[in-house]
Amino acid sequence: MPSPAGVLSLPGTTPPAAVDHERWPDVATVPACSRVRAAVAELIVRRALARLPLHVRLRGGEPLGTGGPLMEIRDPEAFFRRIGAGGLIGFGESYMAREWEAEDLVGVLSVLAGNVAGLVPPSLQRLRGLWARRQPEAQRNTIDGARGNIHRHYDLSNDLFALFLDRTLSYSSAVFRGFPAEHSLLPAAQHRKIDRLLDLAGVGPGTQLLEIGTGWGELAIRAAERGARVVSVTLSREQRDLARVRIEEAGQTDRVSVLLRDYRQIEGVYDAIVSVEMIEAVGAEFWPQYFSALDRLLAPGGLVALQAITMPHERMLASRTTFTWIQKYIFPGGQLPSVEAMEQVTAAHTGLRTAGRERFGVHYAETLRLWRERFTERADEVAALGFDETFRRMWTLYLAYSEAGFRSGYLDVQHLLLTKEEAAR
């Protein structure tokens, strides 16, 4: 079938080796892209790479960059075409399709993350709304939409997460005593993180604690061991079921209830609320509802302790409506907040005020490195669970991309203490 006029049609543009077309349609086939758009993308990317501290080797072409980690582009035509058609989504899909490689993947991605603001010329950044894809309506975090979004990530397989997490099954940043860290230190580092949050929220004997986002139950167990009574809510059936098993094994079923419930459906009043890396799944549209729920559920004089991944405010504003590779493949409906955005929302919609913040992004970089290394070491076991090579490359890129974000300072993670000031309303 002939291609439409003006659309680049390349022979042999199906990626090498087998990519399951039914499971990965946008990876298995290089997308259509106008010649002009592909040429503009190539020009922009070449100019950006040429001035970065990278060594970029294009098959059949001159090297680019000023020296640094090696990025090998094995299929330049497909690589530039994907970026022309899908921007950073195309960049990620090109890696999934094995069209580019990097022995030091985190190193390459750290350079790109550290220079993200200058990769696209300011004139094109101002026209972002014209060329960048917008988040699809299906990923909006309505009550039904949030349930589906959470299912796509957290219900992949408990066995998959167990392969690279530590025995606490904590899927959030740990807090280490020193660096470099080792995987054997992760359980203690995760407990250190949990204890800091519980201390921040003043959780002790008799505390009525609400946890929004159960994970696999470690924080709830830890709080119950302090004598608190815990209601923990999640939208993941897989997590709910395993958390209940782990809570029973810990002998804390009389102190912990795990409910399959959206934060907007929670009732009651609690002395303390803790939520670990949950706000990232809420979506900017629903931040007012999220913080209003915290305000409504918190008793006068109560405390809220949040662990939140954050990004610079100006980058959040520039990208908040853009559909990203992470949203398409990893966290549908996700949106990282800035500290300024959270403070603006709480000031406008609630009586909650930020009483303290602590940043520890370098600890997340180490946590992610340990997860990534364990995931790579256990690739055969991941495959045995039914996850193909394209999934494994996708997951490796996700872990490396996230680690690079924290190493470069593009991302941060913070503990925030919120207090309820009735007079401020």
Q: pLDDT tens, 158-195?
A: 999 999 999 999 999 999 999 999 999 999 999 999 99
Q: Which residues contact residue 18 at a Cβ distance below 8 angstroms, ignoring those fewer than 6 apart? A: none
Q: Look at the block and give the residue holding tokens 């899908």.
A: 86
Coil, strand or helix: which one is 336? coil
Give backbone dihedrals phi and psi of 216, rounded to 5 degrees, phi first.
-110, 25
Packing angle, helices 389-408 and 88-96, rounded to 10: 130
Average pLDDT over residues 293-319: 95
Question: Kind and range of the H or E element at 260?
Answer: strand 256-260
Contacts of 147 (CB under 8 A, 6+ apart): 235, 262
User: What's at 348, amino acid-wise?
Assistant: A
Arithmetic mean of pLDDT over the chain: 91
Mean pLDDT of 140-151: 90
| Residues 261, 150 contacting (CB under 8 angstroms) | no
**CA Rg, the chain, in Å?**
22
Rounded (5°) CA angle 151-154-155: 60
The stretch 108-118 carries a mean pLDDT of: 87
pLDDT tops 90 at residue 135: no
Peptide bond into 53 cis (omega under 30): no
Residue range 243-300, pLDDT digits in tens: 999 999 999 999 999 999 999 999 999 999 999 999 999 999 999 999 999 999 999 9
d(C-alpha 38, C-alpha 50), whole Å: 18
Q: What is the pLDDT at residue 139?
A: 84
**What pLDDT does 61 receive?**
83
Give me 225's structure tokens.
Answer: 């061991």
- Answer for the pair 226, 205: CB distance below 8 angstroms, yes or no: yes
The domains of the chain, with CATH numbers, are 25-133 (no CATH), 139-424 (3.40.50.150)
> Is the C-alpha dihedral spanning 7, 13, 18, 19 positive or negative?
negative
Mean pLDDT value across residues 33-51 = 92
Express each pLDDT in 83-99 by its tens digit.
Answer: 999 999 999 999 999 99
How much is the pLDDT for 9?
36
CA dist., res. 317 & res. 311, Å (int): 10
